[in-house]
């Protein structure tokens, strides 16, 4: 049976040796590399299954190395777990932003590190299975057919994982609901066709504005959800405004199906001062905010109509 090969990147020989010994005892193949350049070259050889990476390296730091690995198609699929003394909230956020699968702060408990390694490798194997199973490149059971985004089933499964991780590492997690409302096609007979086109445009705008680890889903009908780790409420609002601007530009300049569309938003953010206990609470808070926004808009619309 193939042993997973784990590369430990740490300029401290003692730290690297300790991790390698722990990996060997747990049935993994392990090797140590002591700087970023050598690690990048070693990963390029194609037999590394996972990287345990320190931040403080003597040449390029671990964050930069992770960025380079994720930008290279030959190494982008290698899971990276940071194992480092850099444990500030901004460091952890930066680690995930560069594409890491997980982040462990020193001093660590070695058996717990092995749990993280096993989990990351299992996720990587499952991802490969999803790609090649039955020759289908997307997991159709978890993908919305029209937009190509994830569906509600996938969202509910993953949101609790993201909520737990945000609690564990104490970073903000924002959940944004986007509802397409009051669609008016310039050509009335084309309105039904335009609705599908508009939903696709929303999905494209969300992808263009998002990072590779954000969770984007078509929640239901004309409602979408974006789960944004390490994003504050203010940043999530800016994200929503950007999507609205892109949708307005795309729809009004579409010669085949010009339309006017209104978007409603609901937003909830879990952070250190306002912690949502679980995924259901976070999603419910975002939905309540959406309903509130719609109610306010309806009141303003009625007042304008009576003026």
- Contact between residue 229 and residue 162 where contact means Cβ atoms under 8 Å apart: yes
pLDDT of residue 260: 62
pLDDT of residue 157: 86
Number of H helices, E strands in the chain: 9, 10
- State the average pLDDT for the chain: 83
Instruction: State how far the Cα of 30 lies from the Cα of 33, in Å rounded to an integer.
Output: 10
Task: Report the DSSP pairing between strands 150-151 and 215-220.
Answer: parallel
Whole-structure pTM value: 0.55
pLDDT of residue 51: 96
| Residue that is last in its domain, among 116, 135, 154 | 135
Q: CB-hemisphere CA count at 13 Å for 27?
A: 7
59, 206: one domain? no
165, 251: one domain? yes
Say yes or no to pLDDT of 277 above 90: no
Instruction: State how far the Cα of 201 lies from the Cα of 190, in Å rounded to an integer.
Output: 16
172, 101: one domain? no
- Three-class SS state of 158: helix
| CATH number of the domain where residue 17 is located | 3.40.50.2300
Determine the structural domain holding residue 174 and report its residue range.
142-306
> Residue-wise over 94-121: b if at least 16 C-beta within 10 A, else e?
bbbbbbbbbbbeeeeeeeebbebbeebb
| Residue that is last in its domain, among 115, 135, 155 | 135
149, 298: one domain? yes
Return all residues near 27 (Cβ < 8 A) that are at least 6 apart.
3
Number of domains in the chain: 2
| CATH number of the domain where residue 245 is located | 3.30.70.270
Distances in Å between the alpha carbon of 64 and those of 57, 199, 241? 10, 36, 30
pLDDT of residue 62: 94
- Mean pLDDT, range 230-240, rounded to an integer: 91
pLDDT of residue 259: 57
What are 192-219's pLDDT values in tens digits? Answer: 445 677 788 888 888 888 887 889 999 9
Which helix or strand (DSSP H or E) is residue 51 part of?
Answer: strand 50-53
| Residue that is last in its domain, among 135, 151, 173 | 135
């Amino acid at each position: 049976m193939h042993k997973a090969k784990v590369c430990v990147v740490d300029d401290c020989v003692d730290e690297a040796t300790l991790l390698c010994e722990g990996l060997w005892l747990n049935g993994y193949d392990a090797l140590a590399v002591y700087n970023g350049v050598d690690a990048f070259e070693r990963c390029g050889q194609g037999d590394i299954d996972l990287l345990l990476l320190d931040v403080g390296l003597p040449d390029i730091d671990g964050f930069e190395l992770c960025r380079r690995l994720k930008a290279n198609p030959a190494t982008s699929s290698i899971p990276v777990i940071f194992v480092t003394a850099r444990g500030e909230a901004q460091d952890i956020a930066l680690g995930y932003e560069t594409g890491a699968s997980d982040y462990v702060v020193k001093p660590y408990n070695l058996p717990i590190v092995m749990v993280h390694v096993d989990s990351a490798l299992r996720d990587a194997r499952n991802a490969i299975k999803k790609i090649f199973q039955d020759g289908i490149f997307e997991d159709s059971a978890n993908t919305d057919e029209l937009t190509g985004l994830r569906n509600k089933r996938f969202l509910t499964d993953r949101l609790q994982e993201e909520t737990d991780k945000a609690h564990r590492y104490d970073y903000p997690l924002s959940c944004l609901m986007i509802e397409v409302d009051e669609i008016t096609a310039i050509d009335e007979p084309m309105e039904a066709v335009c609705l599908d086109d508009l939903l696709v445009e929303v999905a494209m705008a969300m992808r263009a504005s998002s990072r590779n680890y954000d969770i984007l889903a078509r929640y239901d009908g004309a409602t979408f959800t974006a789960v944004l780790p390490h994003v504050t409420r203010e940043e999530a609002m800016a994200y929503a405004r950007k999507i609205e601007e892109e949708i307005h530009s795309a729809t009004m300049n579409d010669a085949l199906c010009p339309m006017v569309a209104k978007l409603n938003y609901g937003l909830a953010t879990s952070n250190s001062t306002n912690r949502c206990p679980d995924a259901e609470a976070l999603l419910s808070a975002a939905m309540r905010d959406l309903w509130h926004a719609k109610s306010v808009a309806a009141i303003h619309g009625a007042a304008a109509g009576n003026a």
